[in-house]
Amino acid sequence: MPVRLTTAVLSLAVVVLAGCTLGPSTSVVAGGRIDVVATISVWGNILAQLGGAHVHATSIISNPDVDPHDYEPTPADARTIATARLLVRNGIGYDAWAGRAAAANPDSRRTDIDVGKLVGVPVGGNPHRWYAPADVTKVADAITAGLKRIDPGDAAYFDAQRTAFETSRLAPYHRLVEEIRSAYGGTPIGASESVVTPLAEALGLKVLTPQRFLDAISEGAEPSAADKSAIDRQIARGEIEVYVFNRQNSTPDVAAQVAAARARGIPVVSITEVLSPPTASFQDWQVAQLQALRAALADASGR
């Protein structure tokens, strides 16, 4: 687990950076590559794939055992953002520290992609937009447009990278989304937190877990006894066919639900908020999770 620093430490770090003689952010690093950064590995991996050999990409949060909601940045994170030519941050209150770091070290040449603003989800909305295929498409388009603005001479290269990403690398991912929606749309499922919601919506699955419980677990709050009792009844009565949980945020309440679902014979599927393993590509990570979910749905339905 990385060392946690307080927000106050980040504030000091960005002030120090602002006072240093950094000059304008560098446009390239050794080898002529554009220096780009994403706050989480999900967007960072997509950024690296779209930029290809023309970028040097950094993901600040890449450990699948770290809950991004609780992440406390380091001074090195602030410097990485300050010197990048393109920043992809999730927004929606998920990584507010990145916006503060960028604002403390302004650079008119930096392209700043706020995913929440891009897809029209305000603070307070569901921040897990990488589980919404349509939003992934919008982010990929914005990244490509940003890279072309930074390096117009290589626009054709970035266009080719975008086309290959969509039509080849993401093809199995899109195919699985369509197959699950077609075969299992409307299936009732249980979930541990709101990270599951965009995925369930994309797949046409019906989440029966009370929204208040999903939000409470996602935000690190204590869910109500009434909501926990409602979930216990759903599991005991077999009202849900699959239970999906975020293994990066498994509280005692969630662990109890997982155990109860398994005891009841309800298939359980785990997902993560960042790439797992950390070396996986976005598409391989998503495909593996979708395959596990499809298998669980098939097991539950007998088809």
State whether 193 and 228 are in the same domain: yes
State whether 136 and 37 are in the same domain: yes
State whether 143 and 212 are in the same domain: no
Q: What is the mean pLDDT of residues 207-213?
A: 97
Q: Which pair of tokens denotes residue 199?
A: 């995925």
Name the domain boundary from 116, 134, 169.
169
State whether 117 and 228 are in the same domain: no
Question: Does any domain span residue 196?
Answer: yes
Task: Inform me whether the pLDDT recorded for 35 exceeds 50.
Answer: yes
Determine the Cα–Cα distance for residues 61 and 274; give it in Å rounded to an integer.
Answer: 8
Question: Does any domain span residue 256?
Answer: yes
State whether 12 and 158 are in the same domain: yes
Task: Inform me whether the pLDDT recorded for 84 exceeds 60.
Answer: yes
Q: What percent of the chain has pLDDT over 70?
A: 89
Taking each helix axis from N to C end, the angle separating 133-150 and 41-51, rounded to the nearest 10 degrees, works out to 50
* pLDDT mean across residues, the chain: 90
Name the domain boundary from 149, 169, 189.
169
State whether 17 and 156 are in the same domain: yes
Q: What is the mean pLDDT of residues 106-116?
A: 96
State whether 127 and 203 are in the same domain: no
The total number of structural domains that make up the chain: 2
pLDDT digits (tens, 9 = 90+) for 129-184: 999 999 999 999 999 999 999 999 999 999 999 999 999 999 999 999 999 999 99
Question: Does any domain span residue 240?
Answer: yes
Question: Does any domain span residue 1?
Answer: no
pLDDT value, residue 31: 57
Task: Inform me whether the pLDDT recorded for 266 exceeds 50.
Answer: yes
Question: Does any domain span residue 2?
Answer: no
Question: Does any domain span residue 249?
Answer: yes
pLDDT confidence band for 28 (50 / 70 / 90): low
95-106 burial by CB neighbour count: b if 16+ within 10 A, else e?
Answer: bebbbbbbebbe
| List of residues 6+ apart from 289 with CB closer than 8 A | 269, 271
Task: Inform me whether the pLDDT recorded for 276 exceeds 70.
Answer: yes
Question: What are φ and ψ of residue 258, in 5° steps?
Answer: -60, -45
pLDDT value, residue 70: 75
Name the domain boundary from 152, 169, 186.
169
pLDDT value, residue 198: 97
Determine the Cα–Cα distance for residues 111 and 36; give it in Å rounded to an integer.
Answer: 9
pLDDT value, residue 24: 39
State whether 66 and 177 are in the same domain: no
Determine the Cα–Cα distance for residues 127 and 219; give it in Å rounded to an integer.
Answer: 11
Question: Does any domain span residue 285?
Answer: yes
With tokens 């960072």, the residue in question is 44
pLDDT confidence band for 303 (50 / 70 / 90): confident
State whether 237 and 148 are in the same domain: no
Question: Does any domain span residue 235?
Answer: yes
State whether 130 and 165 are in the same domain: yes
Q: Which of 22-26, 162-166, 249-253 has the lowest mean pLDDT?
A: 22-26
State whether 128 and 23 are in the same domain: yes
Q: What is the mean pLDDT of residues 259-272?
A: 97
State whether 16 and 126 are in the same domain: yes
pLDDT confidence band for 254 (50 / 70 / 90): very high
Task: Inform me whether the pLDDT recorded for 10 exceeds 70.
Answer: no
**Domain that includes residue 290, residue range:** 173-301
CA dihedral 295, 297, 298, 299 (to 10 degrees): 90
Q: What is the mean pLDDT of residues 223-245?
A: 98
CATH code of residue 74: 3.40.50.1980
pTM, entire model: 0.87
